[in-house]
Amino acid sequence: MRIQLNYDLSAQNTFRMKVSCACYVEYETVKELEGLNFDRLPKPLLHIGEGSNLLFTQDFPGTVLHSNIEFIKYVDMGFEDVPVMVGAGVVWDHFVAETCRHGLWGAENLSLIPGEVGAAAVQNIGAYGVEMKDLVSGVVCFDLQERRKVKFSREECRYGYRDSIFKQPENKGRYVVTSVLLRMSRKYSPRLDYKGVREALGIPGQAGKDGSTVPNPVMADPIGPLTPQQVREAIIRIRRAKLPDPEEIGSAGSFFKNPVVSREDFARISPDGSAPHYDLPDGTVKVPAAWMIDQCGLKGATEGGAAVYDKQPLVLVNASGTATPQEVLALEQRIINGVQARFGVTLHPEVDHI
Ligand code: EPU
């Protein structure tokens, strides 16, 4: 266990904001977490993962906690499903890499998403047609309010788009995820219906209504049975081409959520229907915020050292390496105002503002 006062958080947030916290605690086991003297720690408490979805807007007056609980335990009962218990502090992509190596399906489309397992379960990370909730069987937490262990089934997690019970205002800071039970599978189950994935694998398909590629029913997987590793590699190629390399340039991934609008609003946004969009089962329409930002001419826009990433305008980056929270916030506001003025849609940040 490590406890430090007046700790510099530059290395604890992928946006690389130069901020500090009054106290920083890093623990290795659930026992260490339970044994902490919470009453004596500066408040408020903030539990972070890899800090890949956070924007610190100023120095943090309380205690930042971080888990180093790292284990991956396979419960192989010889069936198709392979339950895996994973410590909250495991780097998500290390887990994906390992399960793909073992030929297990489930996580491959979520390759290269930054962050750790605990935060992935809180945030319900998603990409290329798959969400974390599709894998979660249960989440084990330490309840800071009651100071005891609690378990949540997948249903109890109340997952939604980048949302869960753990993100509800009344639960903010209450539950610390310590491990997650995931259901991986031996059953051949590639998910290739998202735009670009089949192309990246060299599998022909047909264009969907929204311009995406849908599986060609006649030529299902003509390049032969795929492995999770092959799909992982394709996803990595797609992400590397579009998203900034966290080693080189600071960012927190997608900065905004994709807005969901009514069919009438979509007709107003795109009278000829040519804008990219996804029809949702409830009759509403999801419109990529990246497209809206692009249409507003804000690709590459800057505020001081902060910039709209030119290959994927949903991502704001610390282009200079020395951008301040104020510059990022100014850029965020400019985008919200621009999209509001042009489309009458309010963008909401996906990144947590602290
Ligand atoms: N687009 C443009 N101009 C651009 C780039 C994109 O108009 O310069 C439009 C295109 O029409 C494109 C559409 O935006 O089809 C969507 O872009 P993309 O497929 O890259 O996905 P996204 O909706 O912008 C979401 C997630 C990403 C995830 C990808 C892939 C959110 C907030 N973001 O982005 O997640 O990787 O889909 O599934 O849902 C993250 O959450 O941090 C994240 C990176």
Band (pLDDT 50/70/90 cuts) for residue 45 is very high
Task: Indicate which CATH number applies to the domain containing 156.
Answer: 3.30.465.10
Same structural domain, 76 and 176: yes
Check residue 205 and give its pLDDT.
Answer: 65
Domain-located, residue 236: no
* Rounded Cα gap, residues 331 and 22, in angstroms: 28
Q: What is the pLDDT of residue 215?
A: 53
Short-list 68, 114, 63, CA closest to 87 = 68
Closest Cα partner for 17 from 348, 337, 304, 350?
Answer: 304
Domain finish residue from 67, 88, 122:
67
Per-residue pLDDT tens over the stretch 198-222: 889 988 765 554 545 555 544 455 5
Final residue of a domain: which of 67, 101, 117? 67
Task: For 99-131, give the secondary structure using H, E and C.
Answer: HHHCCCECCHHHCCCCCEHHHHHHHCCEECCEE
* 43 and 98 fall within a common domain: no
Residues 44 and 96 in one domain: no
Residue 62 amino acid letter = G
Of the residues 12, 38, 67, which one is the last residue of a structural domain?
Answer: 67
Mutation pick for ligand 1 pocket among 314, 317, 342, 350 (CB with most ligand atoms within 8 Å): 314
Q: Are 78 and 178 part of one and the same domain? A: yes
Average pLDDT over residues 318-347: 97
> Which numbered atom of ligand 1 lies nearest the CA of 253?
42
The pTM of the full predicted model, rounded to 2 decimals, is 0.92
**102 plus 39 within the same structural domain:** no
pLDDT band per the 50, 70, 90 thresholds, residue 225: confident
Task: Report the nearest atom of ligand 1 relative to the CA of 275.
Answer: 11
Are 14 and 110 in a shared domain? no
**pLDDT of the residue at 24:** 98
Residue 238 lies in a domain: no
Distance between CA atoms of residues 81 and 66, nearest Å: 31
Residue 216 domain flag: no
- CATH number of the structural domain spanning residue 61: 3.30.43.10
Crossing angle of the two packed helices 92-101 and 228-242, in degrees rounded to 10: 140
Q: Contact at 8 Å (CB) between 177 and 168? A: no
| 144/129 same-domain check | yes
In a domain, 331, yes or no: yes
Q: Are residues 121 and 18 in the same domain?
A: no
Quick check: is 223 in a domain? no
Same domain, 85 and 52: no
Q: What positions carry a catalytic annotation?
A: 162, 254, 350
Do 285 and 308 share a domain, yes or no? yes
Confidence of residue 76 (pLDDT cuts 50, 70, 90): confident
* Same domain? 345 vs 314: yes
Q: Each residue of 99-151: pLDDT tens digit?
A: 999 999 999 999 999 999 999 999 999 999 999 999 999 999 999 999 999 99
Residue 199 lies in a domain: no
Q: Is residue 152 part of a domain?
A: yes
Average of per-residue pLDDT across 63-75: 96
Split into its structural domains, the chain has a count of 3
Identify the band that residue 251 occupies on the pLDDT scale cut at 50, 70 and 90: very high
Domain of 261, in residue numbers: 250-353
Query: Which residue puts its alpha carbon closest to atom 20 of ligand 1?
Result: 312
Q: Which residues line ligand 1 (CB under 6 A)?
A: 127-128, 195, 242, 253-254, 257-258, 276, 288, 290-291, 294, 312-314, 350
Write the CATH number for 322: 3.90.78.10
Model confidence pLDDT, tens digit, residues 87-98: 999 999 999 999
Residue 10 has pLDDT above 90, yes or no: yes
